[in-house]
Structure 1
Amino acid sequence: MLKINLLNEKIKQLEEELEYPLYQNSQPKDSEINKEESGSLPLKRKKRKTMPFSYLLTNKESLKQLREVEEEAKKVANKKQHKKEEATQK
């Protein structure tokens, strides 16, 4: 019974310690030092420049645009192929 109680206490301690990721526990110390040194706010997370692929497939307008771009790419490829064939025939 004593072993179980000790185990439960250790588990509770671990849960409390791991409630937040370790880097966040040390980050305020580092950021406080950086704020004092640089006098600026911490950098914000960069925004994603591209749309997630799953969104492109579910959004009808985006899917339509993708198909149009694909068709244009095929047309350009066909034109290049046609020009190559003409050049080889001459």
Structure 2
Amino acid sequence: MVTTFDTHKFVTKLEEAGLPKKQAEAITEALQETQRDINFATKQDVELAKLELKKDLSEVKSELVRWVVGAGFLQTALIAALLMKLIN
């Protein structure tokens, strides 16, 4: 991911604040290097992660429903079998 950064505008602002041109350029270069070394999460990255999490959550919910329904049928069958055993 590339972060857009107007270096000329930044240097100009630093110069307007009273910094010498060489110092303003050095600060700008250091800031650029720092930005290159950092991995920023863009809005797109965050949205993609949210979509993946929603998909995973949906899958977990459906799996949970299958287990609960299956356990319910098993419990019903077990109770029916026990009642049949008690009746006979």
Shared fold (TM-score, shorter chain, > 0.5): no
Tell which structure's C-alpha radius of gyration is larger. Answer: 2
Q: What is the TM-score normalised by the length of structure 2?
A: 0.36
Higher helix share: 2
Q: What is the TM-score normalised by the length of structure 1?
A: 0.36
* Larger relative contact order (CA 8 Å, sep ≥ 6): 2
